[in-house]
Structure 1
Amino acid sequence: MKQEQGLEGGCLCGAIRYRIEGLPFDADYCHCRMCQKSIGAVFGAWMDFKLPQVVWLKGQVTEFASSDSVRRGFCQQCGCSLTYRHTQYPDYLTLTIASLDNPSSIKPNYHIYTDNQVSWLTIEDNCKRYPQGRST
């Protein structure tokens, strides 16, 4: 990951904008079925922050409860997927790397839920792979 001051991002239509202070404490590719369906892509690329690192500049996400403990945030106007929030970890917020103005700024460190990776996708990187979630 490259160090950049004040990374910014937002949704497709511009109704929601945010700024990040510092770097994420982690970043990953997720191949789970919920991410695939909610994002509309064969995997998601996510970056994890402590809540105070995320400054909302404009608008707010609308959240969908995709399970008892997970909330997925999106723009109500354009439908852009922006956030993932686990209610058991209220001090953390996960954002889509693709929503950054410069998504090349953050590189994921590992793949999770690779048991659900689509068969026709070949990813040739050196990131560690976990068949399910990553145990800490």
Structure 2
Amino acid sequence: MQPIEFLEGGCLCGAIRYRIEGNPFDADYCHCRMCQKSIGAAFGAWMDFNVSQVTWLKGNVTEFASSDFVRRGFCAQCGCSLTYRHTEYPDYLTLTIASFDDPNLVQPNYHIYTEQQLSWLKIEDNCQRYPQARTK
């Protein structure tokens, strides 16, 4: 990925806007059932940043506690999925790649929870695949 100075994005209706300074430190496709249900898609495409890289320009994300430690953020007006936040990692924020104004600037590096990937979904890329979460 080439160095990025700033990235901007937001929700479908425009009530929430954000700006990111610099590149994400990671990006992935998630095939878990929670992502499928919360986003309403076959998988989620996510990118990870340090909280200090993110500036909220307009509006506020509404969060839903989807598990003991996970908060999923969305726009209360249009329902657009925007964030994933794990409370045990307060310095990190995960954003949906598709919420960027130009989502082509970030490409996921790997797939997680492929055990739950929909059987009819065929993805032919060279990304590493993990049956569950990726462990470092």
d(CA) in 2 for partners of 1:34, 1:89: 19
Structure 2: which 5+ residue stretches go unaligned? none
Superposed counterparts of 1:16-35, under 5 Å: 16-35=16-35
Secondary structure at the residue paired with 1:57? Answer: strand
For the aligned residue pairs, the C-alpha RMSD in angstroms reads 0.6
Give runs of ≥4 in structure 1 deviating > 4 Å: none
Task: Describe the superposition over 1:63-113 as per-residue Cα deviations: whole angstroms up to 9, x where unpaired.
Answer: 000000000000000000000000000000000000000000000000000
d(CA) in 2 for partners of 1:6, 1:59: 19
Secondary structure at the residue paired with 1:42? Answer: coil
Q: Is residue 48 of structure 1 aligned with residue 43 of structure 2?
A: no
Q: TM-score, normalised by structure 1?
A: 0.99
d(CA) in 2 for partners of 1:117, 1:2: 29
d(CA) in 2 for partners of 1:4, 1:102: 12
Superposed counterparts of 1:51-66, under 5 Å: 51-66=51-66
d(CA) in 2 for partners of 1:91, 1:98: 22
d(CA) in 2 for partners of 1:12, 1:104: 17
Aligned-residue identity in percent: 79
d(CA) in 2 for partners of 1:2, 1:53: 17
d(CA) in 1 for partners of 2:63, 2:101: 22
Residue 6 of structure 1: CA displacement? Answer: 1.0
d(CA) in 2 for partners of 1:53, 1:4: 12
Secondary structure at the residue paired with 2:34? Answer: helix
Is contact 1:2-1:106 (8 Å) kept? Answer: no
Q: TM-score, normalised by structure 2?
A: 0.99
Which position in structure 1 is the counterpart of 2:79? 79
